[in-house]
Amino acid sequence: MPIAPHCTATLLDIAASLHTTASVPIFLIHEFYPRNSGFNPAGFLKMDWKLAKEGYIGLPPGPGLGVEVNEKKLAELAAKPQTYKWPGRTHLDGSVADY
């Protein structure tokens, strides 16, 4: 059964997920949101990747997972309270709904 991971997290998490799926022979497709400002505040992480015309991407280039961390920005962000909140949608009966 082919796998199709979905990663809504930081660029570091996305890079780790891309590296993992690249090692799986039954990998089909990968969904991610690199411009999700809730998880990826501007200037915090940098991951270079290119989307090919056919919709393919390669692994991020560079050492490790291919993600650069701006440590000054990390310290600045760590000093602030968390502001991202999960949408928290519910159905009319109060049960949890997918976002």
Residue-wise pLDDT tens digits, 41-65:
888 899 888 888 888 888 999 999 9
- Is pLDDT of 23 > 70? yes
| 0.85 surpassed by pTM | no
The whole-angstrom separation of Cα 29 and Cα 27 is: 6
Three-state DSSP class for 30? coil
Q: What pLDDT score was predicted for residue 84? A: 67
SS3 content of the chain, % helix, strand, coil (to 5): 20, 15, 65
The whole-angstrom separation of Cα 76 and Cα 38 is: 16
Per-residue pLDDT band at 40 (split at 50, 70, 90): confident
Q: What pLDDT score was predicted for residue 20? A: 92
Q: What pLDDT score was predicted for residue 99? A: 59
Per-residue pLDDT band at 75 (split at 50, 70, 90): very high
